[in-house]
Amino acid sequence: MIIDSRAECRRRRTRWRVLFVLASSVPAVVIGAVPAGPAVADGAGRNGLALRVTVNSRPGLGALRPGVRVGDPVVKTYRLVNRGGADLYQVRLVDPGLPGVAIRCPGGRDRVRMLRGLSFVHCTARTRARPGVWTGQVVASGSIPYLRARAVARARSGYAGVGGGLALSEGVRVKGRGAAVTYRVRNTGNLTVHAIRLGDPPLTGARVDCGRGRALVRRLPPGRSVTCRSTVRRTPGTYVSAGVAAGGARVRTIGLAGGTVAPPTLTAHAFRRFTIAARPVPSRPTEPRQPVGRPTGPPTPAPRPAGPPAAAGPLPAPVPVPPEALPVPLLPGAVGAPPPPPLPVGVAAPGIGPEAAGEPAVPEEPPAEVAAGTDTGGGAVPPEARAQRDERGSVLGRFYRSGSGPTGLGLLAALFVLLLPAAVAAAVLGFRRG
């Protein structure tokens, strides 16, 4: 009887176990028939996917105050947690607070291929801080394919990019031997810059004045500018102006590890080249030197002729030269006659006109008025004189003239033509005998 009671207890326990298994599988079958909805298998519900975001180790919106300095690194970390037992597939992150910045998850992509149940992963995004406020709601979403369900998580995060900025420009105006340099300083950031000092090391001795004679700008709000000036005097030449402005924002910002960092020194530079020209030296007029012993007054103009020149009369006919007066060329080896003795001054040689006796020679060519056949005095040139003058002016008239026969030059030319072959023959014979 005792054995029968133990067997009956075992059978009862087995039946309860089967009923328990069947009862626990009914909800899963009913939920699987639903086309869409949150994952509830293995205890997973609407909040099965969790998301947590940090900016430079500051959670959520903690990087808005005091902010990250413009240009410093910004690192966003996304922690994805699957709090359910069902695996999530293709978990993707979207962050509108970082436009154009890629998010990297395990495997090097912008999404998690599979996030196992009851596990977590970290994704990151790296960039440089931009000026202004950059916030947004990050959305993470994944799917459970065999349940045809989706899990979604959201978290708001962001940062503020802060910082001051300096920009410097120059202008130079040269006047004479002085140069006026103008410096314009502008705050390009979104924080006030304090204690801005200006200098120009290349321009030794230049005093920069930003107000009250000091090269200091105590406070420059964002977007504002101030003008400083300096004046220098230099000798002629080319010079360089290199202005420098330095200041600080005096605001601590969030570093990469989450702590605060001190503000850096802000600087700005400008460069300008200018030339100071030399003054032109006025030239003094020089007086012409007068020769010694001559008057210093103005030169006396040459006297002008009182009237037109007198008419020239008809030219005299040339005197023919006798043949015996012409020089006779000598043959090789012959001795000529001794030259005649010089005649006294004023005595003309026989057969030669007064020209050889020292009297002025008559020009071969008459004046222009006579050559044209006109008389400047009003009279006309006779036709005989005009024909004789034209004959003398021609080349043939130098050798032969009508009415007078051959001229001396013509006789000399004829004699030279007759004696030239004999002289050549004698020279050839003498050369052969020698």
- Amino acid identity of 317? A
Model confidence at 339: pLDDT above 70: no
Strands lying side by side in the sheet with 225-233: 166-175, 178-187, 225-233
Q: Which of 158, 198, 163 is nearest to 181 (CA)?
A: 198
Please give the residue that has the higher pLDDT: either 298 or 94.
94
Q: Three-state SS for 378?
A: coil
Measured on CA atoms in the order 371, 372, 377, 383, is the torsion positive or negative? positive
Q: What is the pLDDT of residue 109?
A: 84
Q: Is 97 exposed, middle or buried (0-12, 13-18, 19+ CB in 10 A)?
A: buried
3-12, 43-52, 76-85: the lowest-pLDDT one: 3-12
Q: What is the pLDDT of residue 291?
A: 56
> What CA–CA distance (Å, rounded) separates 57 from 77?
8
Model confidence at 364: pLDDT above 70: no
Q: What is the pLDDT of residue 411?
A: 77
Contacts of 16 (CB under 8 A, 6+ apart): none
> What CA–CA distance (Å, rounded) separates 360 from 315?
14
Q: What is the pLDDT of residue 333?
A: 46
Q: Which two tokens mark 182?
A: 């103008």
Contact 63, 94 (CB under 8 A): no
Supply the DSSP string of 405-425, one letter for each residue.
EE-HHHHHHHHHHHHHHHHHH
Model confidence at 178: pLDDT above 90: yes
Model confidence at 28: pLDDT above 60: no
- Amino acid identity of 211? G
Confidence of residue 29 (pLDDT cuts 50, 70, 90): very low
Contact 84, 43 (CB under 8 A): yes
Model confidence at 26: pLDDT above 50: no
> What CA–CA distance (Å, rounded) separates 430 from 424?
10
What does pTM read for this prediction?
0.53
Give the whole-number percent of the chain exceeding pLDDT 70.
Answer: 61
Q: What is the pLDDT of residue 417?
A: 80
- Amino acid identity of 187? N
Residue 80 C-alpha from the chain's centroid:
57
Q: What is the pLDDT of residue 172?
A: 96
Model confidence at 161: pLDDT above 50: yes
Q: How far is CA 75 from CA 54, 68, 160, 297, in A?
A: 8, 11, 13, 100
Average pLDDT over residues 14-24: 54
> What CA–CA distance (Å, rounded) separates 138 from 79?
11
Q: What is the pLDDT of residue 421?
A: 83
Confidence of residue 42 (pLDDT cuts 50, 70, 90): low
Please give the residue that has the higher pLDDT: either 200 or 27.
200
Model confidence at 199: pLDDT above 80: yes
Measured on CA atoms in the order 281, 284, 285, 288, is the torsion positive or negative? negative
Predicted confidence (pLDDT) per residue in 62-79, tens digit: 999 999 999 999 999 999
Q: Vertex 211, ends 210 and 213: CA angle to 5°?
A: 90
Q: What is the pLDDT of residue 403?
A: 65
Q: What is the pLDDT of residue 237?
A: 94
Predicted confidence (pLDDT) per residue in 287-307, tens digit: 666 555 555 555 555 555 555
Q: What is the pLDDT of residue 341?
A: 54
Measured on CA atoms in the order 414, 415, 416, 422, is the torsion positive or negative? positive
Model confidence at 14: pLDDT above 80: no
> What CA–CA distance (Å, rounded) separates 123 from 101?
13
Average pLDDT over residues 134-162: 94
Domains of the chain: 41-162 (2.60.40.10), 166-275 (2.60.40.1480), 321-328+369-434 (no CATH)
Please give the residue that has the higher pLDDT: either 405 or 114.
114
Q: Vertex 227, ends 222 and 232: CA angle to 5°?
A: 150
HSE-up (13 A, CA, CB side) for residue 284: 3
Model confidence at 384: pLDDT above 90: no
Average pLDDT over residues 390-411: 68
Q: What is the pLDDT of residue 204?
A: 87
Q: What is the pLDDT of residue 431?
A: 75
Give the whole-number percent of the chain exceeding pLDDT 90.
Answer: 49
Average pLDDT value for the chain: 77
Confidence of residue 222 (pLDDT cuts 50, 70, 90): very high
Q: What is the pLDDT of residue 380?
A: 52
Confidence of residue 266 (pLDDT cuts 50, 70, 90): very high
Average pLDDT over residues 93-116: 92
Model confidence at 215: pLDDT above 60: yes
Q: What is the pLDDT of residue 216?
A: 96
Model confidence at 409: pLDDT above 80: no
